[in-house]
Amino acid sequence: MSSIVLFGPPGAGKGTQAERMIDATGLPQVSTGDMLRAAVKAGTQTGLEAKGFMEAGLLVPDSVIIDLIKERIQEPDAKNGVMFDGFPRTIPQAEALEQITGVTHVIAIEVPDERIVERICGRYSCGACGNVYHDTFNPVPAGGCTCGNWEEKRRADDNEETVSSRLAAYHEQTSPLADWYRSKGIFHPVNGDRAIDDITGDILNALRL
Ligand SMILES: [Zn+2]
């Protein structure tokens, strides 16, 4: 077992790097949100327990999440480990996780806040086909979207104030956890403010692949 934990603020390109890490390591990605939905749908005992909390509008307790992870890592595709995305978020969760599976690497994609704000706030897309554009980095062609239909779409929460507060929440939550993993010598920060391939290269180096 050699499980990996992946950290990265919103807008840091975590999804892209996660896909590449899955290709390179062969480890399945375990996101607690997906896992919860799957367990509820499958109607497992833990799933039913989780459903009770969700339907009551309550946060699913750590003990239930940990039970779900225990079940998940028993599955054949997880025999060599998994890649956790969005978990753990707190030190108690990390401690509980340590009791059930060994985490060998924590990869943290780091991008300065002001760069994330720049990336997210300039974003817009084509309402017709979903193509994503950016005011500075990738503006829509003069004649409109390449799909032939053009309808500019911007998300209301892609504004500086909202993005800044999401980033503040991310740092507040992640910093203690980063320190905790750093003290264990398995924390690998990666500069995410570069070309996608360079970031992947550093991640694979950290994983010694
Ligand atoms: Zn389009």
> Where are the chain's structural domains?
3-112+167-206
Q: What is the pLDDT of residue 1?
A: 59
Q: What is the phi/psi pair of residue 134, to 5°?
A: -145, 135
Residue type, 70: K
The C-alpha atoms of residue 207 and residue 190 are separated, in whole angstroms, by: 12
Residues of the chain falling short of pLDDT 70 = 1
The C-alpha atoms of residue 80 and residue 84 are separated, in whole angstroms, by: 13
**Fold type of domain 3-112+167-206:** Rossmann fold (3.40.50)
The number of beta carbons lying within 10 Å of the beta carbon of residue 169 is 12
Rounded distance from Cα 121 to ligand 1 centre (Å): 19
Contact 190, 199 (CB under 8 A): yes
Active-site positions read 14, 89, 123, 155, 166
Rounded distance from Cα 133 to ligand 1 centre (Å): 10
The C-alpha atoms of residue 84 and residue 88 are separated, in whole angstroms, by: 8
Rounded distance from Cα 145 to ligand 1 centre (Å): 4
The C-alpha atoms of residue 162 and residue 75 are separated, in whole angstroms, by: 39
Q: What is the pLDDT of residue 157?
A: 87
Q: What is the pLDDT of residue 2?
A: 80
User: Residue 42 has which token pair?
Assistant: 């499958």
Q: What is the pLDDT of residue 33?
A: 86
Residue type, 131: N
